[in-house]
Amino acid sequence: MLRLIATDLDGTLLSGDPAAPGSTRVSARTLAALEAARDAGVTVVPASGRQAFSIADALSGTFLSEGLAIAANGAIGVHLGTGRTYFENLLAPDAQAALFHGLQARFPGVRCVSVRDGGTTFVPQRGYVGMMDPGDHGRPDVLPEFDLDAVLSAPSLKFVVRHPEVGVDDLLAAALELAVPGCLPTTSGAPFLEVSAAGVDKGAGLTELCGVLGIERADVVAFGDNRNDVTMLAWAGHGVAMGNALPEALAVADEVTARHDADGVAVVVERVESDLAALLEG
């Protein structure tokens, strides 16, 4: 029996272009399908690499902006309406420092950011802000910058690494090759490397939240499109990859639906709701 829907945002739930600030939204059809699921008693949980405040901003005006969410690639579970934190898992300073210095030795121009305090505090290294595109990280245009020691000195909810010329796939490959203990690097479609504590990903976050709620994995449907969605799709009772998903997500999914900009989430949710209604009537 369906009890929880977990869905990624960018490239999954939101239509529009994630690279164009303000262009992404939940379509009317998809929102209606999720509202019907909620009304039937299903918990709907956005699960994103974004921070909690950015998830709420992206879903503003919908019921999703006031409910449960998994943020920072599974590092934290929160209630967007009340601010309650259900779990939080941080990356240790020594681990992030070792990874950064390893990447710096290969790519001298790398810069980093430590995201802290449940995702509200953004601590960029000097030189990072100039690499940001409009809307990156959901932050304002003017940001203070900090010396590297200050960035690396405290635990991070999410640790971010970027280079002005080296692509994110190359940064990920180098990070995986370094295999720094305590670190789990990934990408989400954004132009920077995202690093969590080892064992912390969307699948682990979904597992932890479902444990709190008393929901079995067999009763979970999850939607995603990118590398950081793979563990969530694999853990859920039914993992659904979007038509625009990367090969890694397609490989673990139980089903492939339409693209994010063709109401792919709604296509599946509407069918599941119809199946449930028929079962109850029978």
Q: How do the pLDDT tens digits run along the chain, 282 residues long?
A: 899 999 999 999 998 765 555 557 999 999 999 999 999 999 999 999 999 999 999 999 999 999 999 999 999 999 999 999 999 999 999 999 999 999 999 999 999 999 999 999 999 999 999 999 877 888 876 789 999 999 999 999 999 999 999 999 999 999 999 999 999 999 999 999 999 999 999 999 999 999 999 999 999 999 999 999 999 999 999 999 999 999 999 999 999 999 999 999 999 999 987 776 654 454
- 10 Å CB burial of residue 154 (0-12, 13-18, 19+) is middle
The pTM of the full predicted model, rounded to 2 decimals, is: 0.94
Quote the tokens at residue 19: 């690279």
C-alpha neighbours within 13 Å on the C-beta side of residue 106 = 18
Q: How far is CA 34 from CA 28, 45, 182, 221, 271, in A?
A: 10, 10, 37, 12, 12
